[in-house]
Amino acid sequence: MRYFIRFSYDGSHFNGFQRLNKLVSVQKSLEDALTIINKFPVFIKGAGRTDVGVHANGQCAHFDLNVSVPVERLILAINSIVRPYINILECRIVSFDFHARFSVKKKKYVYKIWVGDYDPKRYDYYLFYNKRIDVEKLKECASLFVGKHDFHNFVAGTRDNYDMEIESIEVEEKKNEINIIFVGKSFYRYMVRNLVGAMLDYNENKCELDLLKKMINDKTFNHQLSCVLANGLYLEEIFYK
């Protein structure tokens, strides 16, 4: 039987999502728990990977079990093992043609910036930023990235194709906090962190809009701007419809 789960986790306690030998990861923690419940090895397929320090409020995965377990009991059983840093929010039975990664329609990421007084308790969950932020400049920069572009200057590692379409980028201002919200079908490694870094570089007058335009419009032009820390990044939601 194939199960779908939606779950949250505190990325500061894991070496990323993906299983990595004996290191503590979100995937390994869930697989270990499910193997105990199933009494046979269980392997999960996530909707996407998150790097070390990145959090999730709505990560998703699927897995197959040899035994049939009511979803309410399964949620309780998994949570009794994986808490306190992982929490199963939803579980349901799905058809065998469902795939947590390949069935994704779009994803939402949020990057959180703290502009208030320093608070060590918030360090793992925000980018602390002690410079003035011009929200209109962030929005101006964000508008360049919306749409389909070649993002090779904003991605870590080598790929065959760097084209990707960003559906929307919103800048939300709260008291002492700025959230930058990205929605798109997929995001490549370090992409959101590099885009936020570019937006903050533009905010600090370290680059001009013409440079940013060239970075996404000229496939032969290579240039690197800032990459922000992982601790402010959240995989917020996965959409399947």
Give the pairing type, strands 233-239 and 2-9. Answer: unpaired
51 is catalytic: yes
Measured CA distances, 192 to 65, 170, 229 (Å) = 34, 13, 11
Measured CA distances, 22 to 28, 46, 82 (Å) = 9, 19, 16
User: How far is 129 from 115, CA to CA, in rounded Å?
Assistant: 5
Q: Which residue has the tokens 């905010």?
A: 203
Q: Give a three-class secondary structure readout of 82-134.
A: HCCCEEEEEEEEECCCCCCCCCCCEEEEEEEEECCCCCHHHHHHCEECCCCCC
- At 48, list the tokens: 């996407």
Residues 39 and 88: beta-carbon distance below 8 Å: no
Sequence-separated (6 or more) residues with CB below 8 Å from residue 28 = 19, 20
- Active-site entry in 51, 64, 124, 150: 51
- Which amino acids are annotated catalytic? 51
